[in-house]
């Protein structure tokens, strides 16, 4: 199939909507820094997510809970400075939108003002509806996130696949409609059965972006460090790696050390 949207100079929420209508899949990856974001944008990736997975891959925490709004703003503004084409979505970190919709709006406004991002993402359905609605009233596009929502890890107690039981699956379907009706422009479906993701994708008019949710969703997202093979000891079933960059970096650094120690680097051409 021809890629209908590769010629757009700037991916917008409307472009993503057209992609769903035309059956063109949406490719989304995370990024947290300028150099990687610049590389990703040159590949014509559709969406870059400045995910709160930065807490794990950039800061070494076990969960996404500790990352702060100030930290997310530093990552997101670095990414945004590199991006000309992709749609940039920024995760609202834990504690910045759940309790109080006024606080949610203030957090979203800080993200938009201080980073120049195109949209925010937050986790949850009905329980965060008031926050979503208030953010939307300010003209800020919102991406939802259902299924495995890592900010609720202490409630779930596990990162295992969600909504395998009928009751939870029905709740997820209801929440997907809640997000659509509220006016979210897209939603992430994380780690849920493929059949359920397919059903949600067919039922809602906004794009669904899956991670561990099968191939019927309107798009896919992976954490950059995971798909490049940089993250060690993280091999969930849904993850496909597209390189061995962890090993490559390690080998490059070992070679550099050997060259320095043996006075092989710098050579005559590499000095003044």
Residues in the chain: 272
* Residue 220 sits in the site that holds ligand KIV (CB under 6 A): no
Q: Give the interface size with ligand KIV as a residue count (CB under 6 A).
A: 11
* Residue 151 sits in the site that holds ligand KIV (CB under 6 A): no
Question: What 8-state DSSP symbol labels residue 209?
Answer: E
Residue of this chain nearest to ligand KIV (CB atom) = 51
In 24-165, alpha helices (H): 34-42, 54-57, 69-82, 101-115, 129-137, 153-156
C-alpha span between 208 and 7 (Å, rounded): 22
Taking the alpha carbons of 251, 256, 261, 267 in that order, is the dihedral positive or negative? positive
C-alpha span between 19 and 32 (Å, rounded): 25
* Residue 147 sits in the site that holds ligand KIV (CB under 6 A): no
C-alpha span between 243 and 138 (Å, rounded): 41
Q: Quick one: tokens of 63? A: 């969960």
* Residue 187 sits in the site that holds ligand KIV (CB under 6 A): no
C-alpha span between 206 and 184 (Å, rounded): 8
The correct pick among 52, 118, 180, 218 for binding ligand KIV (CB under 6 A) is 52
* Residue 96 sits in the site that holds ligand KIV (CB under 6 A): no
- The answer to whether residue 190 is catalytic is yes
The correct pick among 120, 188, 197, 204 for binding ligand KIV (CB under 6 A) is 188
* Residue 91 sits in the site that holds ligand KIV (CB under 6 A): yes
* Residue 40 sits in the site that holds ligand KIV (CB under 6 A): no
**Minimum distance from CB of 208 to ligand KIV (Å)?**
12
Taking the alpha carbons of 92, 142, 104, 108 in that order, is the dihedral positive or negative? positive
Nearer residue to ligand KIV within complex by CB, 72 or 182: 72
* Residue 208 sits in the site that holds ligand KIV (CB under 6 A): no
Binders of ligand KIV in range 10-39 (CB under 6 A): 30
| Residues with catalytic function | 190
Which residues of the chain form contacts with ligand KIV (CB under 6 A)? 30, 49, 51-53, 91, 188, 190, 211, 221, 223
């Amino acid at each position: 199939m021809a890629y209908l949207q590769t010629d757009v100079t700037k991916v917008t929420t409307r472009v993503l909507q057209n992609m769903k209508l035309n059956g063109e899949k949406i490719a989304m990856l995370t990024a947290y820094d300028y150099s990687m974001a610049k590389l990703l944008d040159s590949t014509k990736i559709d969406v870059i997510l400045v995910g709160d997975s930065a807490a794990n891959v950039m800061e070494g925490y076990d969960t996404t809970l500790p990352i702060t709004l100030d930290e997310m703003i530093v990552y997101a503004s670095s990414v945004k400075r590199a991006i000309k084409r992709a749609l940039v979505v920024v995760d609202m970190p834990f504690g910045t939108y759940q309790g109080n919709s006024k606080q949610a709006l203030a957090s979203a406004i800080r993200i938009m003002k201080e980073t120049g991002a195109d949209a925010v993402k937050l986790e949850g359905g009905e329980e965060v509806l008031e926050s979503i609605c208030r953010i939307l009233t300010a003209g800020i596009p919102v991406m939802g996130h259902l299924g495995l929502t890592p900010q609720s890890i202490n409630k779930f107690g596990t990162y295992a696949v969600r909504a395998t039981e009928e009751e939870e699956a029905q709740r997820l379907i209801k929440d997907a409609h809640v997000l659509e009706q509220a006016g979210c422009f897209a939603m992430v479906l994380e780690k849920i059965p493929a059949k359920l993701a397919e059903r949600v994708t067919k039922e809602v008019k906004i794009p669904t972006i899956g991670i561990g949710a099968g191939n019927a969703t309107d798009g896919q997202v992976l954490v950059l460090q995971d798909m490049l093979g940089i993250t060690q000891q993280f091999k969930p079933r849904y993850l496909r790696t597209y390189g061995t960059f962890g090993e490559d970096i390690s080998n490059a650094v070992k070679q550099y050390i050997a060259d320095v120690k043996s006075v092989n680097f710098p050579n005559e051409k590499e000095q003044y």
